[in-house]
Amino acid sequence: MSITGINTDRDHVSFASDWQDWHDTHEANRADGHGFLAISSLTFLTTEPLRLTDAPGEWSTSARGPVVELAEGESVVIDGVEVTGRHAFGPLAERTGVDVIAGETVVELARRGGNDIVRPRHPETPLRTAYRGTPTFAADPSWVLDATFHPFDEPRPVTVGSVVEGLEHVYDAPGELRFRHGGQEFALTAFTGHRPGTLTVLFTDATSGVTTYAANRSLSVDLPDAAAPGDGTGTTTTFLDFNRAVNLPCAYTDFATCPLPPRENRLPFAVEAGEQTPFERA
């Protein structure tokens, strides 16, 4: 374990302050009026048109993509244009989506695990309005661990399970992150990150189901610069800041399709850092 330069009380205070600023921003984004805390339902579309109770229109899908049929007097806004009657969205690519605006409601239409889904988001949903923040472990610089990134020759498609029974996700893994803890070496499969220049690690550990959410936590890791010094085999150095391990939406709502970590990312020791089990699941 190491974090270079953190060796005084002032450094520890600065580290905790930086972490708090980051987590405050993360919490604000999570509690956005149309964030995942505002989701009011989850519907897997079929060829049979279905009218939702929390969004306008009848929704269905087929090989040609999802469709909404709006009744007389109903309208929505798609890409800034008011739409009435029937609207065909065309096939959606996996992990993409469209936001459909209906007054104060944002209707998320998305493709997850090979299925087209609809998730309306209402700012006044009780889960969001009653949200009181997520408990965390205290920021601790000893949980910033040196790591090396070992790229695969080619990105590997990795199939993982989901919190929704029977649903699977496939992610590209560009490599693995190796690090040491307690005198042992561990390796985590890393997926392509949500932001350019980052990797995403899904993991569980010995705190999972005890003080942290049982199914998963997520950690964003900076992708090492290609010019960073390595060991001559293509590996490069970075670090894992477990203080920034966060909960996925499924930790808060049953209307989520979150992935489960690959088997090799189930750490046998307790990572007492980052976000804990939300009050909503305690």
User: What does the block give as tokens for 109?
Assistant: 């239409």
Res. 263 pLDDT band, cuts 50 70 90: very high
Query: Residue 189's closest CA among 207, 205, 171?
Result: 171
Per-state percent for the chain, helix, strand, coil, to nearest 5: 15, 40, 45
Res. 3 pLDDT band, cuts 50 70 90: very low
Q: What is the pLDDT of residue 96?
A: 96
Residues 165, 254 contacting (CB under 8 angstroms): no
When the pLDDT of each residue in the chain is averaged and rounded to a whole number, the result is 93
Q: What is the pLDDT of residue 12?
A: 84
DSSP letter at 46?
A: -
- The predicted model gives 175-191 an average pLDDT of 97
- The predicted model gives 214-230 an average pLDDT of 78
pLDDT tens per residue across span 105-143: 999 999 999 999 999 999 999 999 999 999 999 999 999
First-to-last CA distance in the chain? 30
**Coil, helix or strand for 41?**
coil
pLDDT tens per residue across span 227-246: 344 444 566 899 999 999 99
- The predicted model gives 191-211 an average pLDDT of 96
The percent of residues above 70 in pLDDT, for the chain, comes to 93
Res. 17 pLDDT band, cuts 50 70 90: very high
Q: What is the pLDDT of residue 224?
A: 82
- The predicted model gives 261-278 an average pLDDT of 98
Q: Which residue has the tokens 């309306």?
A: 120
Phi, psi of 255 (to 5 degrees): -95, 40
- The predicted model gives 178-195 an average pLDDT of 96
- The predicted model gives 30-39 an average pLDDT of 97
Give CA–CA dist 137/140, Å, rounded: 8
Q: What is the pLDDT of residue 40?
A: 97
Residues 278, 247 contacting (CB under 8 angstroms): yes
Give CA–CA dist 116/107, Å, rounded: 13
Indicate the range of 72-81, 221-230, 237-246 predicted with least confidence: 221-230
Give the 3-state DSSP-derived string for 147-173, with helices as H, strands as E and coil as C. Answer: EEEEEEEEEEEEEEEECCCCCEEEEEE
Q: What is the pLDDT of residue 10?
A: 60
Indicate the range of 77-81, 212-216, 233-237 predicted with least confidence: 233-237
